[in-house]
Structures are given as structure tokens and as C-alpha cells.
Amino acid sequence: MAHLAPTPVLEPGQDRTMILNMGPQHPSTHGVLRVLLEIDGETVVRMMPDIGFLHTGIEKTCEAKFYQQVVPLTDRIDYLCPMTNNLCYVLAVEKLLQLEIPPKAQWLRVLLNELTRINSHLVWLGTHALDIGAMTVFLYCFREREEILKIFEMVSGQRMMTSYFRVGGIALEPPLGFFDRVRDFAGYFPSKVDEYENLLTGNPIWMMRTKGVALLTAEDALALGASGPTLRGSGVDIDLRRDMPYSGYENFKFKVPISQEGDVFARYMCRVQELRESTEIVNQALAGMPEGPIKADAPKVVLPDREKMKTQMEALIYHFKIITEGFAVPAGEVYQAVESPRGEMGYYIVSDGTAKPYRVHMRSACLANLQTLPKMCEGRLLADVVAAIGSIDIVLGEIDR
């Protein structure tokens, strides 16, 4: 909240410009982003994003929790892709512990991650189109998102704050009928993407509002630290799932959509194609789902099954110890990054050998992507600011943490 009293940007004699305050209570700032705009008529001269309204000190809170207790906090950072955050965090802790994760758990994680990506992109597409004036798409997107949320509820008991992944595996076996339901969804979803594309891709109004708007060159995007579709929309070919695979992504075949133009439309095309690619990954995960355990063989870290607890003394002791004292993690530090729907989501965890993390830092993709906004908007029309904000797909919870 740095700009409560913005530095005066009006020089004496320069009375052509005025300061316009946009947000934090503005329907198209996707939460509580405040943007200060210096405008000359309809042209944006300068732009200053102002963040921090949603800062809850999650990084500080993590330092007072056991490693497992941090997982629910990671949901709440980026509430549109909880599973991605869960995954990134547990991968980082598992790297610290050097745990081996059984294949079935890895594949389930990939499956749920891609559903999360679809979920997140659907919210983005709906709200982005709504910002630009296409009401119908919003309703269509939320119809399909509802089904994904029901799948999440089925598997984790929660629609949004899933906390389904555990250090060393996943919480529970998926219930009966889960795979059929996902298969159904993956079967009909591509035709729904066709529906969205019918409404938008060739639509002359959509093209006028998005093509050539909020341009970002590849050099600028790299220098400003943009990642994910914001970077790929400018023609930089990087996807961590393919280039630095984690959690068994090397077993999946998928294309990484790239657009060269670097405008709002390019970023839109990247994400819409990612919807199709993610469905493809979901199909592959369903077809090749391995059998076996869903938790690593590490009794000091992973909670024992309920059945064992009732029959084996050891299991009961380990359960008591893990719940009351947590599990100690060897000293060291790791940085684990995953490709979240918005870009490079990274967790930097420092352990001092105790049961609580010494330091947890989240590398937020949105925070870096937000820095590209002034570059996109300065010198452009005021009306395009809304399209630009929508096109970088920000989640303020992740920016402010």
C-alpha cells in the first residue's frame, strides 16, 4: 500500500494530465488491485499498480507451523489453483527429505493439477471476457468449472481449499466412481472449448478489443520476469512441465502453445489451447494410471493407515508423534518451481533441522507478471487497461500473500 499518498506526478505547467484512481474496489481489477493512472485525455501517460491490500503474512505464519500444517495455507495463496500450490510445496519438502513418491501418487497429482489448470483458466476466461463485455462466456465457463469443483469435492471433501496433497503422497484413495466422472468430463470438455471459441475467437468485436492491444515484446517480458502464458504469448518457448519436469511430467506428451504477437489475443490463444492440452494430459493420466500405494514408505513422515493404527503398536506411536511433534526435516534449502496456470510458481524453503520450516518464501508468478502492466499500457488508451489486466490473469491473493 505504498501509494496512499502518491508522489506528485504533475509538474507545474503540465496541466494537460490528470490522476485517475482505479480500484481497489473495481469490478475488473480481479480482487483488490489498485492502479493509479496519469492520463492525458484518453491516453495513459503513466501507470502505477498499488498492491498489498490482501497481505496476510502467510510467509511469517508458515514459520510457526509444522511442515504438514503449511499445506492448508498454500491453498489460500492462490485460491484459483489450490492443487498447484499444494503440489509445489509438498515437492519442495519432499526434496528436502529426499523422499521417493510412488508412481500412482505422482500420476494422481498430475491429473488433479491439470484439472486445476482447467479450473483456473475457466475463471480467467470467464472474467476476462466479462471485463471486455462478453457476458455469455462467463456463464458457460462457470458451468464447466462447477463440474471440476464437484470432482474436487468428491476427492478431497472441499470445493476450493482442497489441501489434498500430503508430504509423501496424497491424503486418501480417490473414491469409487471418481475416474469415471473425470473421464466423462474430459470426454465432453473439448466440445465446450469449441463453444467458447465459437463465441470469441472469430468474433470481430473480440478481435478489435484484443488484437494489437497491450503489446509486450519478448525482451521486455524476459527482463521483467514474466512467466507462463504471459511470456509464451510473447513468443518465448518455456514450460517448466516440459523443460524441467517434476512429479512425473516427463511421462506425458503434450504441446506447449506459443504465440508470437505478444498482445492480449496472443495470450488468450495460448490459454485456450492450454485448455485442450490439459484435457489431453488428463486423458493420458487416466489411461495409464499405475496401481500401487499412494503414500511413500516413510513411517516417520507419512501418517499410517487407520487400519494399521488399530492393529499395530508402532503405527499408533508414529501417528501420535507426527501429530504432536511433527516430523523433523534435515537442514538445508531448496527451491522448487512448478508451472502454475499463471507461470512459474516457486517455493524456497530453508530448514534448520527442526519440525518447523525456518523460512518459506513463495515466488509469485503474478507479482512478476504485474510488473509488465505499465509496459503494456503506457501510451495506450484507457479502455485497454481493463483488457491488459485481464490478459495477465492476476490473483491478488498470490501477489500479496
> Which window, 39-47, 59-67, 132-140, 174-182, contacts another protein (CB under 8 A)?
59-67
Shortest approach of another protein to residue 372 CB, angstroms? 9
User: DSSP letters of 166-205?
Assistant: ETTEESSPPPTTHHHHHHHHHHHHHHHHHHHHHHHTT-HH
Does position 202 interact with another protein (CB under 8 A)? The reply is no
Q: What does the CA dihedral 56, 61, 63, 69 come to, rounded to 10 degrees?
A: -130
Provide CB contacts within 8 A for 312, sequence distance 6+: 304
Pairing of strands 18-22, 359-363: unpaired
Determine which residue in the list 184, 188, 312, 335 makes contact with another protein, applying CB under 8 A: 335
Does position 2 interact with another protein (CB under 8 A)? The reply is yes
Residues 91 to 110 in contact with another protein, rule: CB under 8 A: 95-99
Helices (H) and strands (E) counted in the chain, each on its own, are 17, 8
Determine which residue in the list 149, 160, 236, 382 makes contact with another protein, applying CB under 8 A: 236
Does position 393 interact with another protein (CB under 8 A)? The reply is no
Does position 400 interact with another protein (CB under 8 A)? The reply is yes
Does position 321 interact with another protein (CB under 8 A)? The reply is no
Does position 330 interact with another protein (CB under 8 A)? The reply is yes
Does position 52 interact with another protein (CB under 8 A)? The reply is yes
Determine which residue in the list 112, 226, 385, 395 makes contact with another protein, applying CB under 8 A: 226
Question: Measured from the CB atom, is 146 or 325 closer to another protein?
Answer: 325
Q: Which residues of 155-173 are buried (b: 16+ CB within 10 A; e: fewer)?
A: bbeeeebbbbbbbbbbbee
Does position 57 interact with another protein (CB under 8 A)? The reply is yes
- From residue 370, alpha-carbon distances to 129, 148, 230, 316, 337 in Å are 19, 28, 10, 48, 19
Q: Which helix (H) or strand (E) covers residue 347, if one does? A: strand 343-351
Determine which residue in the list 18, 41, 63, 217 makes contact with another protein, applying CB under 8 A: 63
Does position 1 interact with another protein (CB under 8 A)? The reply is yes
Greatest pairwise CA separation for the chain in angstroms: 84
> Which window, 55-63, 115-123, 146-154, 189-197, contacts another protein (CB under 8 A)?
55-63
Number of residues in contact with another protein, rule: CB under 8 A?
Answer: 49
H helices of 354-401, in order, are: 365-370, 372-377, 383-391, 396-400
Does position 337 interact with another protein (CB under 8 A)? The reply is yes
Residues 75 to 94 in contact with another protein, rule: CB under 8 A: none
> Which window, 26-34, 312-320, 328-336, 380-388, contacts another protein (CB under 8 A)?
328-336
Q: Which helix (H) or strand (E) covers residue 281, if one does? A: helix 264-287
Does position 64 interact with another protein (CB under 8 A)? The reply is yes
Q: Kindly list the strands in the beta sheet with 34-40, ordered across the sheet, starting from the edge strand earlier in the chain.
A: 18-22, 34-40, 43-50
Does position 367 interact with another protein (CB under 8 A)? The reply is yes
> Which window, 33-41, 51-59, 120-128, 148-156, contacts another protein (CB under 8 A)?
51-59
User: DSSP letters of 54-119?
Assistant: T---HHHHHTTS-TGGGHHHHHHHSTT-HHHHHHHHHHHHHHHHTPPPPHHHHHHHHHHHHHHHHH
According to DSSP, residue 340 is labeled E
Question: Measured from the CB atom, is 197 or 378 closer to another protein?
Answer: 378
**CA 45/CA 20 separation, integer angstroms:** 11
Residues 247 to 306 in contact with another protein, rule: CB under 8 A: 298
Provide CB contacts within 8 A for 244, sequence distance 6+: 337
Residues that bind another protein (CB under 8 A): 1-2, 4-5, 51-52, 55, 57, 59-61, 63-64, 95-99, 222-227, 236, 238, 243-244, 298, 330, 332-335, 337, 344, 346, 348, 350, 358-359, 361, 363, 367-368, 370-371, 400-401
